[in-house]
Structure 1
Amino acid sequence: MRKLAFLLSFSILFVSCNKDEEVDPGNAPAMPPSTSIAPNFDDFSGSDGDGGGRQMVVRNWVYAATSVGVYSGILSGALVVPVTAFKLAVNQEATFDTETKLWVWTYDISVPNSGSYSVKLTADVDGSDVTWTGYISKAGGFTDFVWFTGESNFMANAGTWTLYEGPDKPNPWLSSEWSKSEVDGVADVTFTVEKPGDSFGSSISYMVDAGAELNRNVTIIDTNTENTIEVLWSAENSNGKIKSQVFFEDNLYHCWDITLNDVACE
């Protein structure tokens, strides 16, 4: 009888240990960088410093700012809620839900001129692949609307996002494909317009190259005007250059200096 009791106790202990091991989630997946969903376009958010009086001498920079501003406006305007929700996720602690087998981040956000929201971000890990889902709720409005979804590898070196228009129009608006390399100091993201209309299929690609003199690079493909715009600039010094066949009627770069004044390209 003692031997049987010992064997039963050992069996229960063995099963318990195995059960604990089965639900051990390990580490949470690395969070994709905030730039994967909202690149920093602050270099083009200021004015020319003298209203219309300098428009002609800062034409190159103004055209760059206007072109970049179209996409920046979508991310900071119409899609500000999901963008804010993800950007704040990096400061939150994750918990593992043993029932759903998902990593979960839950927190509240406040968006100026929009209101307060509750966010639940989940990560479904399958080997080295991670599927991200961003649920957003607003009291008195809607519950668990999936405002953005994405995929990445476990170390968050590359992935994709899809951002949806909103609870009243749950259709894809922008998609993004991104990657980063800490070793090379290079990161890039390409946003593509998925919303039907004149700009459908248009895209903006943003690259950071820490080793380059002009260490920021934007390429805009406008399907509506059949125009490609290339912009390179220094994040530290603010000087840069732009190329656009449609606007400048040539295939040359047009430059501006650290004061944003137009200058001849070297």
Structure 2
Amino acid sequence: MYRKFYFILFIITISIFPRQVKAQDINQGFRIGLKIPYTYDVGLFHRFSNRFAIHISSQFITIPFNNVPIEYMNLWGADENITAILDDPFMIGAGVDVGAHYYFGTDNRRYYGGMSIQWMNLLKKDIDDEVINNAFGVDLSSSDYPLGPISKPQSTKPLTLNTNYVNLGVFFGKIIPLYNNPNAELRLEIGINKVIYSHHNLQSDYRYITPVTETTNTELQETMKKYGWFPTINFYFIHKLKN
């Protein structure tokens, strides 16, 4: 799955980054930064006028941000028995962020606002049976869930959850020039991201758990749709390519 998205990322990058740029208010380059306390971002930007720009980034959730989405949803009032399915043990996530910027103000257009859409994939392994039992009032060790093709002692992934979700985000930022380096700048943003779609696939390689898989998807979809609000403070370092 990741290969397909990074291939798309490569194709989009080629299409939006022209080889020759003539206008002085056009620039392009690389950006690296943090959406605190949410993701690490590495990507590209292209400012094609003094008013408009776009960016495309790879984004990653890992230590110490791996449980932040769960903590936010719990803060807004989500059922902690449901969000515990996404909690520890360690979870890693990766995805793509594509956004558009509009610059305003008279001071070299240093202020901007924008919108972005973000796809994320989260993988969580080794989920305890008790987490699912507590969330849905079931007993995975009962005869209601017959054994699958692999015995439990041989299983390498007792319960695994693969989550995909899409955020719609808005942000407001300021450019901070680095006067000793005209090809570099810092950017400070505030933003908020809202889950607009999610899908969750709970799997076991030693049991048939289709009813619980369907329930898990439904409950997590409803939880993320209602409570999936993720505010951030964003810091980026920008390196401009020479025109």
Q: TM-score, normalised by structure 1?
A: 0.25
Which structure has more RCO (C-alpha within 8 Å, separation ≥ 6)?
2
